[in-house]
Amino acid sequence: MKEKHFYSNLEDRLVAFSVQIVNLGYKLQMKPELRSITNQILKSGISPALNYGEAMHAESKKDFIHKMKIALKELRETHISLKILFNINRVPFKDEILMLKEENNELLAIFVSSVKTAQQNLIKGKNDN
């Protein structure tokens, strides 16, 4: 049986993920050749938490879906950045990057499912205000 995730809600989980990305970014910025990808992953890795916060106060179901899709796109971008970092031979912190990749994959699955459900509900006419 899979262990229950430490965080009780998605917002807390996204905030924790963002903090972990920032902590990794601080370490990686010590290597000048990694600054470009580090800056990129800092932006995309923090964005899902912020967009999720906006989605929770969306003005309509369509607005909610739009903001969730933005968060999903940023998670996908972060996923690719983490893959790149993991595959660069000279990058340290492989264990930390691997852990972030796994969390990112779980968050991607949650957001894909949430967007799909919200779109289905919109089509069915539920909560379409």
Taking Cα atoms as reference points, which of 64, 24, 27 lies closest to residue 44? 24
Residue of 32, 36, 26, 41 whose CA lies nearest to 83: 41
Q: CATH number of the domain at 60, please.
A: 1.20.1440.60
Structural domain includes residue 4? no
Amino acid at 6: F
Global pTM value:
0.87
How far is CA 11 from its chain centroid?
11
Residue 119, domain extent: 10-124
Q: Could you tell me if residue 103 is inside a domain?
A: yes
pLDDT at 90: 84
pLDDT tens figures, 106-119: 999 999 999 999 99
Q: What is the pLDDT of residues 75-101, one digit of tens each?
A: 999 999 999 999 998 888 899 999 999
Backbone angles phi, psi at 33, to 5 degrees: -70, -10
Q: With contact defined as beta carbons under 8 Å apart, do 25 and 82 qualify?
A: no
